[in-house]
Amino acid sequence: MPEYLAPGVFVEETSFRAKSIEGVSTTTTGFIGAARFGPVAMEPDIVTSLSDYERLYDPFAPGSEVAWSGSTAPNFLWHAVRAFFNEGGKRLYVSRVFKPLTGEFEPFTAADELASAAMTGTHYQDGHARVDPSGLGGLRVRARHPGAAANLRVRFTLKGGANVLVGQVDPVSGSTIPTLRSVNDLDLVWIRDRTSSPAAADTGLFAVAHWDEDQALWRFEPMALTSPVEAGDWFDVTALNPDQAPDQGDSVRIVTLGVSLLSRDGAREIATWAGLPLHPSHRSAGAADSVFARFATEPTSTADARGLPLVIARDPAAVSDAFDVLAALFGADPTTLLVPGTEETRRGVTPADKLTLGVGNTFLLEGGNDGQRPEAGEYEGEADPRKGYSLGLKQFEDIEDISMVAAPGSTWNYAAYRENANAVTGLLIGHAERMRYRVALLDSAEGQTISDVRGMRAKLDSKHAALYYPWVSVLDPVTRQEIKLPPSGFVAGICARNDVERGVWKAPANEVVRLALGFETLLNKGQQEVLNPEGVNCLRYFEGRGFRLWGARTISSDPEWKYLNVRRYFAYLERSIDKGTQWAVFEPNGDALWANVRRTIEDFLLNEWQSGALLGDKPEKAFFVRCDRSTMTQNDLDNGRLICLIGVAPLKPAEFVIFRIGQWTADRRA
């Protein structure tokens, strides 16, 4: 209660209406499966297009086959994502599963970088492609994520900037004092000193710039070469003369490292990162920004941890400064890589103020592989708080807005993979039931007959799952050949499209499969009459109407939850009410609160009825909301329980449309 102690006018805000409930999204989907690259142990990031997916999980050769140890399979996850967005999907989360050649997957830590990687033949057992460390001194370069797609090339180049040596006039003596502009402590620089020792007249040298706080000037630590200087021959900026003409006088240029990722044949540049300081301790604006910080094992940026394809690490005992990095990448004497430019002017700067790059060094990333085919253990995953990461389906448990889950490709090669395929199906169902507001979209296996899919269905029973048959034939944009794909990716997209265009209460059926060229099995009405009563949703071809999804049942034995749209609509209602009434927790549990809760839910359900989502010509026939003494006992009140009873009349699909036609006598009165 506000206090009124002094006379005056008091203006207060109050509310005369019920709280509002906003309907939650039902189109967000979660796919789990094997990808060719990308994070395995990180929390999934939302994907809103196929290009988004390719950026994270298939950046080098999108859609290419997955090469497991002992078998090669179509890239089912990529195809499912493509189908999802083509069919009308909006938002997607992806959980990548990966099974190493030996042992179980564990993410890298900084301490793991220097350990020798175990190999099986020519492949690293953990699946990460690497540059042979024997040719890099104390450096380590590897692909950030496992996968054969990362067997590429990486090129390192040196880049020199404009001359940063300038002269400032001393206001007291009038003399010109040399200094540097736009330089950071520990920058690697290239110095040409034509007027004084220790630099050679026309060649130049590499040095590290150090800011001397006591003397308030820049000092240079030259690279230790046999000539023209020796280690320890430091000199400061006052030894340089900025008054000479740029093409004849002294100059200082900042040198940075460029990293380029190239295709395996070196003909195509995939990505480039430029302007990277070489010194491991280099900082800018208080933050570490060297090449090792940019490509760290555990970057500070989550986006970099997902999207940066490389890790560049060092052995502190062998690589401690910029000179060690130079020697490891470019040899003991890298001075030949940076030479003065040719005669050409640009923006009034003579060419000697620039540097022409020598050819950078290129290294092969080798030994990356796609591991073994993931099994049920990889799909189930783990979430150990002590490890700080989760795997498999456990990653989806922390994401609230997922409403559909699927595992495209988990039933491929069913004859040889039957036990694991069935186990993955069970894991999807268990996950959907445990998360309450989700449904699992299950795939039949490729090549199954009607009796096979009936046998598969007979082992399942859940109101949170739906089974689809047969597989869909599409044109593979990579091979330009027809390929058969599991239906779950298409169905998830159709469900999302149906929810956006009509509503989650409308059955996701009688919808065109846009990408389909055909189905693995062309079913007729008689065959579907066998499958439909058992809860197997069929995809069928109708002449003049194309390829359509022709079923919307769950695999539940409970007739109350026979239809998928009813199950999904109740999940929508429950989650919307759950999120929209959180304000009521710890409010005084009395008549005022009960009335407010009733009004809040009634307003929400009234809007649903007006949208056509509920059966009944009047609101009182479509739903009821009770929250009063009739729903709560004194014991409930004493134990802090508010109980609200809600009943709704959902719309069931017109699965069987029947027209009864008979003869009519013209003169007969009705």
Residue-wise pLDDT tens digits, 577-590: 999 999 999 999 99
Residues 83, 210: one domain?
no
Q: How far apart are CA 108 and CA 298, in angstroms?
A: 8
What's the DSSP call for residue 308? -
pLDDT in tens, 265-299: 888 999 999 999 999 999 998 899 999 999 999 99
Check if the beta carbon of residue 142 is closer than 8 Å to that of residue 310. yes
Residue 377 has pLDDT above 70, yes or no: yes
Judge whether 643 lies within some domain: yes
**Backbone region of residue 524 per phi and psi (left: phi > 0; alpha: psi in -120 to 50; beta: other values):** beta
Contacts of 337 (CB under 8 A, 6+ apart): 158, 330, 357, 358, 359, 360
Residue 350: which pLDDT band, with cuts at 50, 70 and 90?
A: very low
Judge whether 128 lies within some domain: no
pLDDT in tens, 131-141: 998 888 889 99
Q: How far apart are CA 262 and CA 269, in angstroms?
A: 5
Q: What H or E segment, with its residue span, contains residue 519?
A: strand 518-519
Asked which of 338-342, 416-420, 423-427, 641-645 is least confident by mean pLDDT, the reply is 338-342
Residues 649, 508: one domain?
no
Residues 357, 397: one domain?
no
Asked which of 85-94, 193-202, 263-272 is least confident by mean pLDDT, the reply is 193-202
Q: How far apart are CA 78 and CA 62, in angstroms?
A: 8
Among the candidates 299, 330, 364, a domain finishes at 364
Judge whether 476 lies within some domain: yes
Residues 322, 185: one domain?
yes
Domain of 383, CATH number, reads 3.40.50.11780
> How many helices and strands, by DSSP H and E, does the chain display?
14, 36
Query: CA–CA distance from 259 to each of 291, 321, 375 (Å)?
Result: 9, 18, 37
Nearest to 444 by CA among 524, 539, 349, 362: 539
**pLDDT value, residue 339:** 55
Residues 517, 606: one domain?
no
Judge whether 108 lies within some domain: no
**pLDDT value, residue 250:** 79
Range of the domain at 418: 29-103+371-565
Asked which of 181-190, 192-201, 365-374 is least confident by mean pLDDT, the reply is 192-201
Residues 344, 295: one domain?
yes
Q: How far apart are CA 490 and CA 81, in angstroms?
A: 9
What's the DSSP call for residue 70? T
**pLDDT value, residue 669:** 62
Count of the separate structural domains present in the chain: 3
CB burial readout 620-656, b (16+ within 10 A) else e: eebbebebeeeebeeeeeeeeebebebebebbebeee
Residues 354, 379: one domain?
no
**pLDDT value, residue 266:** 87
Residue 665: which pLDDT band, with cuts at 50, 70 and 90?
A: confident
Residues 376, 525: one domain?
yes
pLDDT in tens, 495-536: 999 999 999 999 999 999 999 999 999 999 999 999 999 999
Residue 352: which pLDDT band, with cuts at 50, 70 and 90?
A: very low
Judge whether 326 lies within some domain: yes
Judge whether 17 lies within some domain: no
Average of per-residue pLDDT across 251-259: 90
Among the candidates 504, 534, 565, a domain finishes at 565
Q: How far apart are CA 175 and CA 169, in angstroms?
A: 6
Residues 660, 529: one domain?
no
Residues 398, 542: one domain?
yes
Among the candidates 503, 531, 565, a domain finishes at 565
Q: How far apart are CA 614 and CA 567, in angstroms?
A: 14
Which two structure tokens, joined as six digits, stand for 150?
């990362």
Residues 350, 493: one domain?
no
What's the DSSP call for residue 374? P
Residues 391, 337: one domain?
no
**pLDDT value, residue 437:** 96
pLDDT in tens, 430-473: 999 999 999 999 999 999 999 999 999 999 999 999 999 999 99
pTM of the predicted model as reported, rounded to 2 decimal places: 0.91
What's the DSSP call for residue 156? E
